[in-house]
Amino acid sequence: MKFSLVIDGEKPEEVVATVHRRSELTDQIEELVLGYAGEDQLPGYTEDDMRMLKFAEIECILVEDGKTYAVDGAGEMFRLKQRLYELEEMLPECFIRINKSALANEKHLVRFSASFSGAVDAVFRCGRREYVSRRCFAQIKRRLEER
């Protein structure tokens, strides 16, 4: 494998990778490049304090009672100041919409669980379950089949 880095302040930033096939490494590189907007974390608030949450440690983002929350790997909820649509624009592509009021970090999804009624839940590493809408589930399936 060969690597080169060209630093030129006059040209627009561009990352080009030539590979034989897609792999976990290429997915990580893509996530890193596309997700980087000068920041890779955002402030999350609890009643007592504020903590900078790295995008990679956020399992899901949801809206409850009109407030936006991020859930970390331990299942702890942090209040966010941004709206869901603002977060969707700034987060890396590994964050996917699973319903009208939730985004999921697909790197933290363990499985999708279906019930007899036809409802589908996303199950995260921390054990949290979130409802997946039919429309979003169809988009997620298409996305996964493309890989």
Name residues whose C-beta falls within 8 Å of residue 114's C-beta, 6 or more positions apart in sequence: 120, 121
What is the rounded CA–CA span in Å between residue 110 and residue 125? 6
Q: Given pLDDT bands bounded at 50, 70 and 90, which one contains residue 4?
A: confident
Domains of the chain: 41-146 (2.40.50.1020)
Tokens for 84? 């869901």
Residue 55 burial class via C-beta count within 10 angstroms: exposed 0-12, middle 13-18, buried 19 and up: buried
Q: What is the pLDDT of residue 78?
A: 97
pLDDT tens digits along 62-73: 999 999 999 999
- Sign, CA dihedral 21-22-25-28, equals positive
Q: What is the dihedral of CA 53, 68, 92, 25, to 10 degrees?
A: 60
- Summarised one tens digit per residue, pLDDT across range 58-99 is 999 999 999 999 999 999 999 999 999 999 988 988 999 999
